[in-house]
Amino acid sequence: MKYSLLIVALLSTASLLNAFALSDLFGGSDDEASSLEATPAITPTPVSIANTPTIEPIMTPSSNNSNDNLLTQTQRVRVSVVGQGVSPMNTASPAQAYAMAKRAAIADGYRIIAEKVKGVRVEGQDLIENMMIKRSSVRTSVNAMVKNANIVETTYKDGLCEVEMEIVLSYIDFSL
Amino acid sequence: MRSRDGDRTFIYRFFFIIFFFSFALNASEYLISYRYVVKNSTLYNENLDISRAMKKCDGVEQEAISLRTDKEINLKKIISNNFEEFINYIHKLGLHIKHKDKTVNLEHTSTTILTLHTTCFKVDINDNLAKITPLK
């Protein structure tokens, strides 16, 4: 009888300690539990397991946001960029310098549009000898085809030409 | 009855038919390509190549551009007189972009190449205007 009472007492203290340890690990205070309960649409889990960490409710709102960025049939996306170009040092006239800088700025604008819409390929390489970096290189490349881009505004100052360009993307451009 | 000099009307007809067909077949179709290179944000090289098509082009007519001819009948001269307008039009048609960027030991170089691949254009030249239509 004595031993049985002792065993019961030991078991109860062990379970109490275990419960405290779990609550410390997961940070499950009463306030946090109530905050999780306040969003029933995100966490449909019952209250008894609210203290256990779940990843799904955290991912759900972000996945909804990513759906907002998708191109739908009724939606249009306007991409606006600013390309920069520099005039060469040896030009015959200021007009030629402006024309060449503008051409370079347009190419830069096209490049940025392609980067935003299609993406960039990035490759990096580090050469380390005797625990020291000897050569570090990063290469990026873009391959794309851009049509119907419009020039919105052109500014030229001190040999630098800035061209604001925009392109409107619609669902039908990609569905054909 | 044939004359001693031969059948002149027949010869005239023959040459007229040859001349007419040679003019009608390929004279109004041109192949145009455009390419320019930008290195380190500075224009490095620009090429606009125009040549007559040696065989008939296939394709559907796209959006056309009309350039002022100023009584000129040579397409190269017409385009060089309206160069900026034509280049802007080519940009609208669509250009292929090839960009490479390299950073070695914090030293940066970049090359951007914009290309209009060789495209067949139908050209109708009138007294005042040249209508240039791409075929794709």
Domain boundary among A23, A38, A68: A68
Same domain, A57 and A124: no
Distance from CA of A127 to the nearest CA of B (A): 11
Please give the share of chain A, as a percent, with pLDDT higher than 90: 51
Model pLDDT, residue A5: 66
Mean pLDDT of A59-69: 51
* A84 interaction partners in chain B (CB closer than 8 Å): 41
- What is this model's ipTM? 0.77
* Residue B95 to residue A146, Cβ atoms within 8 A: yes
CA B38 to each of CA A45, A113, A152, B42, B112: distance values in angstroms, whole numbers, following the listed order: 58, 16, 21, 5, 5
Nearest to A110 by CA among A160, A67, A161, A164: A164
Residues A128, A110 share a domain: yes
Same domain as A87, residue A168 = yes
How many independent structural domains does chain A possess? 2
- B91/A106 touch (CB, cutoff 8 Å), yes or no: yes
Query: Could you tell me the residue range of the domain that residue A25 belongs to?
Result: 2-68
Q: For chain A, list residues whose CB is within 8 angstroms of any CB belonging to chain B.
A: 84-88, 99-101, 103-104, 106-108, 110-111, 114-115, 135-149, 151
Residue A54 in contact with residue A78, Cβ under 8 Å? Answer: no
Tens of pLDDT, residue by residue over A118-129, are 999 999 999 999
Task: Give the dihedral of Cα atoms A124, A127, A132, A135; nearest 10 deg.
Answer: -70
Shortest Cα–Cα distance, B100 to chain A (Å): 4
Residue B42 one-letter amino acid: T
Q: Which helix (H) or strand (E) holds A135?
A: strand A132-146
Please identify, among A68, A96, A113, the residue that sits at the C-terminal boundary of a domain: A68
Same domain, yes or no, for A80 and A46?
A: no
Pairing state between β A132-146 and A150-157? unpaired
Same domain, residue pair A9 and A59: yes
Q: Are A86 and A56 contained in the same domain?
A: no
Judge if pTM exceeds 0.90: no
What average pLDDT score do residues A139-167 get? 95
Question: Where do the structural domains in chain B lie, given as residue ranges?
Answer: 28-135
Residue of B nearest to A100 (CA): B43
